[in-house]
Structure 1
């Protein structure tokens, strides 16, 4: 039977603009005390942006962490501009990254991204009935954010999935969600 650990104390040993690292002391069920290093992260959102039932928008961008480009669905962290509102963050990210707004924006699922060492949680939204944001309402992209945007069909994305061309976790999960929706 799995046992619960007891949180004893914590100390933030690093605080950055995107995440913090907390050194935690916990007590195991047998009384042994151990240290856990936990990355604390703001909640994030990702958007499965539908052009129609058979096409979505994805973006190609450079990721310094892996020193390579990735194809991803639009996403970003919830910040002070959103007042801790997931829906508002999704609206903002659609504007910033795709320059679009959605008449229909629905939360689909929420998941933890790396429970072994982080509390990072992401909510996937579906966005439909897309239209361009008015020129005067366009929000600036994050500093250094450079994107190639592609409309891709379900069949093309299925091929990418089979070939291992999708290596971003949120995009993999969004594809599987979309595939499940299509089973209908």
Structure 2
């Protein structure tokens, strides 16, 4: 029910498409004027990302090919929540290890985001990772598919923010995470939420 008191009742829901990661659901929803309107929803399992900030004030970014946009993007180490019940912070640590070959001695919750709520239920949670250390070569994840060509680089956080403002970093999670990290640093990292803070946006089937 909304603040105005209307309950957007779903009168019918059908599955239009089921893919490897996403699905498309067609809902018929009763509007405040009584009309019923179709809303197509891209159902997504959710995702996590990591702003990994080292002792020199640099952030770790990955350069990865993204087929839907036809080219590579600078991104945070990130991944979907594809292990049912796995805590988001554990998933974030796994992605940092797999994509950047790094461990972190400290994690803080940075920001929660709905990626595009007009058409999908995709929610992602971004963590701040500090006290970084490299994973020994013999223990590193062996990448495949697009990740096999993925490169990793470090940028001063201020430079990364400047690249956002110049339109050179356009991945939404990276934009949000980098700007949030810069603000958090300016506040001396005060007020960051605990790792297990409630996350109403996380799809229920993923814990």
Q: Structures share a fold, TM > 0.5?
A: yes
Instruction: Note the C-alpha offset of 1:139.
Output: 2.8
Distance of 1:182 and 1:114 partners within structure 2:
27
Residue from 85, 104, 107 that aligns with 2:106: 104
How many residue pairs get aligned? The number is 183
- Of 152-161 and 92-101, deviating more is 152-161
Instruction: Name structure 1 gaps, 5 residues minimum.
Output: none
Match of 1:75 in 2: 78
Q: CA RMSD of the aligned region, Å? A: 1.8
Match of 2:93 in 1: 91
Match of 2:150 in 1: 147
Match of 1:173 in 2: 176
Residue from 37, 41, 47 that aligns with 2:40: 37
Match of 1:49 in 2: 52
SS at match of 1:151: strand
Residues 182, 91 of structure 1: alpha-carbon distance in 2 compared, 3 angstrom cutoff: closer
Residues 167, 151 of structure 1: alpha-carbon distance in 2 compared, 3 angstrom cutoff: same
SS at match of 2:54: strand
SS at match of 2:33: coil
Instruction: Note the C-alpha offset of 1:157.
Output: 1.5
1:78-137 per-residue CA deviation (whole Å, 9 max, x = no partner) reads 112x63321121111011100111111222221100000000000000111111224454
Distance of 2:176 and 2:88 partners within structure 1:
18
Instruction: Note the C-alpha offset of 1:182.
Output: 3.0
Instruction: Note the C-alpha offset of 1:142.
Output: 4.8
Instruction: Name structure 2 gaps, 5 residues minimum.
Output: 188-207
SS at match of 1:140: coil
Scaled by the length of structure 2, the TM-score of the pair is 0.81
Match of 1:64 in 2: 67
SS at match of 1:51: coil
- Of 84-93 and 38-47, deviating more is 84-93
